Structures are given as C-alpha cells and as structure tokens.
Structure 1
Amino acid sequence: MAVNCGIVGLPNVGKSTIFSALSSAPAEAANYPFCTINPNIGVAGVPDSRLDFLVRQFATKKRVPATAEFVDIAGLVKGASKGEGLGNQFLSHIREVSVIAHVVRCFEDADVVHVSGKVDPADDVETINMELAFADLDTVRKRAEKAERAARVMGRDEQKKSALMLQALGKVKPLLEEGIPARNAPLSGEEKAALADCCLITMKSLLFVCNTDEAGMKDGNQHIEAVRKIAAESGDEAVVISGKFEAELADIESPEERQAFLSEIGLGESSLSVLARAAYRLMGLRTFFTAGADECRAWTVRAGDTAPKAAGVIHTDFERGFIKAEVYSFGDLAALGSEAKIREAGKYRVEGKDYVVEDGDVMFFKFNV
C-alpha cells in the first residue's frame, strides 16, 4: 500500500479546492456533486522550519523539502456502502490510501450547493462515519465466513490463524454495527496484525479538516467547534483551513507577498502547512536531513527505520555498502549554533547498522561498494 493521504468527504465540501492548493496537480473543481470521479494524485512539499534553519546555517545553494502524497477522492453520499452515488468505486479508492483526511464543510454560502440541503457538520461527519463503518462491516462478515470455513477444513496452523482472525473480527463487528470505527476496538498487537490484510477503512488514522471561509478562520465559528468536539471525543486531530483562501495564496509566487497576504488575516503561516505536517506525521513518516553548502535536503523514512534504511533512501548503494553514519540532532545544532560546538560538547555521534533514526537527525553516511 502506498504511503499517502486520501482527502474524503461529502460532495461539494471543498476537497478538490484544498487538493489543488496543496499540490502542483490541479484538480477539477465545480459547484455540483461527483465532479471528481477518478482520484487525482498530487505531491505537496512539507513545510519545515528546521530545513529553513539549515539552509541559513550552511548558506546552501539548493533547498529540497520532504514531500507527502495526497489523493483527492470523489465525494461519498448516504448509501455509498450500498452502491449509491458510485459508492463502491469511491470506497475502493479509500481502501488504497494509508491515512484519511476528512474534509467537513464549516461555512455558509447559499451559492454553493450542499448535498443535504443544509450545513450541519455533525450530521455530515456521522454520514461519512456510518458509510465507512458499513462498508467495513460487509468486509468483516465475509472474512468471518472465510475464517470459519478454514477453521473446519485446514491444518492446525491455519486453524490457529483463523481463530485469531475470528477473535479480532468479533471485537470490531459490534462497533461497526454502531457506526464506530474499528480502530476504537481494544485489539492486541497480534489481533491488529491479523486484521491487516482485511484493509478495513476505519482502521486507518483519521484527520478532520474543517473547511471554512476567511471570516470563519476567527474564533467563534460554531461549525468548527462542533467538529473539534467530535475529534476530541474520538481521539482524532482537527485542523482548520480556508480552501478558497489557500487557493488564492497558492497563486502568489513571491514568498514576501504570500507572507504579507497571511499577515493581513493574522496568520503566521499557511493552514496548508499545518495540514501537510499533520498528515505526514499520521502516515508514520519521519524526517532526517543532509546538509552542506551545495544542498540541504529533508529525507523521508518510516518511524522505526534504521540507519542503513535511511541511507538507502538516498541511494541503494548507500544501504548495500553501509559502514556507519555520523549523526547529530537538529535540536543540538539549534541550541549550540555550529557543528564545531556540537563536536566540542560530545554530541556528534557515530552510529552503526542497528541505529534507529530519530526525527530531526542530521546524517552523513559512510559506505563502501
């Protein structure tokens, strides 16, 4: 499965507008449901002030940020789990992403059609949650039947696997029947592993995206507060964004003009930056840096990856011939001010093949091929 973030929600809530602002791949956007049928895929740079610091520190000629892949998936409607509104096709696209960004409409505009005829974030969230849960429930029932058959006719090892699968399915099924995500089930590590190949949609990490207008970016928006309450109750994260404003901001080429535009409405950075970082983190991705006068670059690894894996991100030869990695923490650089002082403080380290890369490591690899 690809490491990416799927942008989902009801039709006409601003998914494609946000996607277009996030990525360099423009998505079709229009004021009617099902404008997006085939998913659009785009790549967004992940803003990182640490990389900006390194660029200044090394007087670098080239700056290369980490990236995250976003997928704009067509809107779901009530009944999608039963095939309504091209539902089966859309649900299959959601199964293929690793993290879900659920866009919820949090603005009033009589000129923009709402599929339900009214703006009600809590109702919209419940509609999506129920459809995703019902789609998973159908999967759970089919997998349970398959596991029960296997338990009757297969050998002892397969019977043990089937028993574990049935145990895990038995924990998620009652929740799904109530429209509650499978990720809320009290599953052991073994049970989660058993469910992995079921590709349950509601096992995926979720990020709520409150799409509002410029006025709604200020405190007191009841629609946003409703979504934040839902997110807090479910243990999920919520970010606030104005898709229309961000689309206008993305059209401004000058960094200085963009910052001035942000300052006009009291923002220090684009809300897209917050969204991109949150999605990156939820996808289980971490950043390490390489730095020098020619280039400062943010590289992406999965949480838990070792130094050779990180080296392989740069080039497969680096992983194959890995000898060691010279490492220091970005935090130490920011606190001490230079590599020389890091060395003086004994914080410049040499790590071997078992070293697990930490987010924010600055790394230099030694290899032999």
Structure 2
Amino acid sequence: MHVKCGVIGLPNVGKSTIFNILTKSKVSSLNFPFCTISPNIGFSQVYDNRLITLKNIVNPSKLISTIIKIVDIAGLVKGASKGEGLGNKFLNQIREVDALIHVVRVFKDDNIMHVENSINPIRDINIINTELIFSDIEICEKNLLRLQKNKTLNKNELVEEKNLLKKCLLYLNKFYLLRTLDFSLKEKILINKFKFLTLKPTIFLINIHKNTSNNIFLDKVKNFLKKDLKNVICPEIIKNNADRDSQNYIELNEIIIAIYKILNLETFFTVGQKEVRAWSFIKNSKIIKVAKIIHSDFKKGFIRAKVISYEDFIRYKSEINVKKAGKLRLEGKKYIVRDGDIIHFLFNI
C-alpha cells in the first residue's frame, strides 16, 4: 500500500529542509514566505533491520524496502481557510494525504525570518490548528446543506450522516481537533468520505538549532503538547543538518517509524532468490485483504498461503528447514496477518 505523508507548518519553519533530509532531495528552502508553491513530492525508504537479515540469509538478486511518499506542502498562514496566502489551495493538498508531519520552529535566528516576526511555537501551532478547524467547520456546514437538499439517500443514511456532521460541528466549534473525539466503528467508516483535516494522524516534529541556547521555547512547547507527547519528535538529525548517508540515519528513521505507528501499519515480507521485499499493511488485516496489496488478482484467485514467522525463518534459515521443523503453516482467507510474517501466496487465476 502507498502511504502519503504531508509536511505542514508556517512558512520558514524548516519544512523544505526536513523534506530534503527525508527524501534526499534538493528542493529550494530559501528565506522568504511561500518559497514552496506547488507541493514537492519525494519518497523515503523505511529502514528495517529484518530486511537486511533476510538478505544475508537468502542472498537475493534484489532487495526492496517499503516506501512512504512525502509531500512538502507550502506554509500555511493566519487566514488560510479564507484564502490568505493561497490557503485554500494548500489546505486541499493536505486533504489528500494520510498523515501529517507538523513542523514547529523553537529556535531564534535573526538570519531566518519568521512570518509572524517573532518566535512563539505555541502560537504557531494554534495558528495551524485554527485554520484546519475552520476548514473542517466549512466542510461540515456545506455537507449539512447538501443533505438538506438530498432526495436520493434513504432516511437512515440521511439521519446517520446528519448526526455525525452535527457531532463534528459541535466539537469543532469548541476549537477541538476531531482526532481527539471518540467515534463508533460505524462513524469511523462513514467519516472517511469527508476528508477532515483535523482527523489526520499527526506527528509534531520540533525543529531545533545546533546552538542549543537558541532553542528557548523547547520545554514550553513540549509541555504544551504533553497530550501528544508520544507523537512528538525532536531529532538531532535536523540540528546537525545531516543527510541520509550519515551516522544519524537511524535517528532519521525514527520519523518514518512514527508515521507507521500513527497509521497503525505493520510489515510482512515476500522472500525468494529473485527478490526479498517488505510490504506495509494495516494491523489486524485478514490475509485476503493483504494479498491485494501485491496484486489485485491475488485477492480474486486466492486459495491459501504458506506462512512462516520471521523468527522461525531466521532460526532455520530456509523454507525447507522450516517445513521439516513443522513450523510452516497453511493459512486460509480468515487468517489475521502478523507483523514480520513471511508469506507465499497460492492462487488460481
């Protein structure tokens, strides 16, 4: 599955720099607002030690990691939801991603201008959140108006959508983000169609300075985000302006792993002499759904699958040895795939 993650924040907080680090790109990161207009798109490999271990055992012709698509979205400003700074265009770009990396600047540097003319990360976070909230309020109001005129939905569907939108609107008008609101399973399925911005899983990436004395708001912003602390990252890799080939590579991967966690993703592997490959899937998925990730025909013609746990493969070194040890399993359509499973799909097309 292709995961798409957007990098957001105010202008000149370091979004393009972080995009360049994550994707080994060289997009412009000049010192003026709206240096980025059209979104820059790149890809970041997901480093997984298990893939390297499998390579060393199998010695395949190719080794393929999972990837995450990274989108560098132009800086939002106060009034973006009303069109300020090409705001509506940028908000629509955010609507198309699966998760967000919200970049927050905590350092003071007179050589790097700030769009609000002062360093205040808590204010900056609130500006972004406010614009996302205003945009979602507009989505609620437009869809409620649409439902009033709708003559095709049956009564139950109409009531369900109206109740959900009213619930969201009430919460948003209190200036709360929808990702902090509890929804029933049915509501979670229904709400996806609206692409609400404040529902996007979010990582806060604190952009710090190599001169630690300039990071004057670091503790305050961490305290402000204490409810989201498990999704707050303050990596040295940005401070050091390192690239992907440096010793800080593993720390950089912390960001990618955090994206996996907030999107509830895990990894399975396909292993052969031609190719050892990692694939991402949503946790607790049935194998029939996971088969489609490789090819849509795999789901259509699925018969069963040979499944080996990563630990067993590492212990016995080959599928033949795993089978001799009685650790190879044949699983049907209802099997729930586990993180690290090595799967060989059997299908009839």
- Report the TM-score when normalising by structure 2: 0.89
Structure 1, unmatched stretches of 5+, are: 253-257, 263-268
Task: Give the Å deviation of 1:215.
Answer: 4.7
Q: Is 1:76 paired with 2:76?
A: yes
Report what 1:354 is aligned to: 334
- Report matched runs for 1:123-162 at 5 Å: 123-150=123-150, 154=151, 158-162=154-158
Q: How many angstroms apart in 1 are the aligned matches of 2:154 and 2:301? A: 39
Task: Give the Å deviation of 1:134.
Answer: 1.0
Q: Is 1:66 paired with 2:66?
A: yes
Alignment RMSD, CA only? 2.8
Report what 1:54 is aligned to: 54
Task: Give the Å deviation of 1:159.
Answer: 2.7
Q: Is the 8 A contact 1:208 1:236 kept in 2?
A: no
1:166 to 162, 165, 188: 162
Q: How many angstroms apart in 1 are the aligned matches of 2:343 and 2:161? A: 42
Task: Give the Å deviation of 1:98.
Answer: 1.4
Q: Is the 8 A contact 1:327 1:349 kept in 2?
A: yes
Report what 1:365 is aligned to: 345
Task: Give the Å deviation of 1:61.
Answer: 4.1
Report what 1:194 is aligned to: 190
1:338 to 290, 293, 317: 317
Q: How many angstroms apart in 1 are the aligned matches of 2:289 and 2:337? A: 9
Q: How many angstroms apart in 1 are the aligned matches of 2:134 and 2:216? A: 29
Q: How many angstroms apart in 1 are the aligned matches of 2:187 and 2:301? A: 37
Task: Give the Å deviation of 1:319.
Answer: 3.7
Q: Is the 8 A contact 2:108 2:216 kept in 1?
A: no
Q: 1:54 to 1:225 in 2, by over 3 A?
A: farther
CA deviation vs aligned residue, 1:324-351 (integer Å, no higher than 9, x gap):
21112224445x4534665465432111
Report what 1:14 is aligned to: 14
Q: Is the 8 A contact 1:104 1:208 kept in 2?
A: yes
Q: Is 1:233 paired with 2:207?
A: no
Task: Give the Å deviation of 1:88.
Answer: 0.9
Q: How many angstroms apart in 2 are the aligned matches of 1:318 and 1:174? A: 44
Tell which deviates more after alignment, 59-68 or 129-138: 59-68
Report what 1:180 is aligned to: 176
The secondary structure found in structure 2 opposite 1:249 is coil
The secondary structure found in structure 1 opposite 2:52 is helix
AA in 1 matched with 2:232: A
The secondary structure found in structure 1 opposite 2:217 is helix
Structure 2, unmatched stretches of 5+, are: none
Q: 1:222 to 1:296 in 2, by over 3 A?
A: farther
- Report the TM-score when normalising by structure 1: 0.84
Q: How many angstroms apart in 2 are the aligned matches of 1:329 and 1:222? A: 48
Q: 1:311 to 1:142 in 2, by over 3 A?
A: closer
